[in-house]
Every structure is written in structure tokens, then in C-alpha cells.
Amino acid sequence: FSEFPEVYFRFNVDHGMEEIKLGDWEKLDEVYNLTRKYLASERLRRVMPRAAESLRECHAAVPTTVASM
């Protein structure tokens, strides 16, 4: 989707959760803290409004040849 920068936005904690498995419920505090740090990041503050605008406008479209990959 690099050809469609205002269509695909990926939001996930960049680092720190690599070793945390799905069943590691006892590490929930760590997941919470890493997520809060990510949500407060400068990168996310720049990208989130663009993603929201893209959803609101629905102006970006991906050809079905790309969407089916």
C-alpha cells in the first residue's frame, strides 16, 4: 500500500512487546504502559489526524487489483 499513503494506516506499539505472548495476562500492566507511551508519541500525533481525515472524507480508494493481494 505504499502507493496509497492516505489509505492504509498501521497502528501498533513499535517496540517493547515483542516477547509478550497472547496468553501473558500477568504482563497486562506492561502492555498498558507501553500502549500509553505509544499513544502519546509524536509520530502518532502526526499520523492519527491524517487517518481520521481519510476515514471522514473517504476520498482515497484502492483499485481492486491491489485490494485483492
Task: Identify the band that residue 20 occupies on the pLDDT scale cut at 50, 70 and 90.
Answer: very high
Res 8: pLDDT: 81
> What is the band of 63 on the pLDDT scale with cuts at 50, 70, 90?
low
Q: What is the reported pLDDT for 59?
A: 55
In the prediction, which pLDDT does 54 show?
84
For residues 36-48, give the mean pLDDT. Answer: 93
pTM to 2 decimals?
A: 0.65
For residues 33, 16, 24 and 8, what is the CA-based torsion angle, rounded to 10 degrees? 90
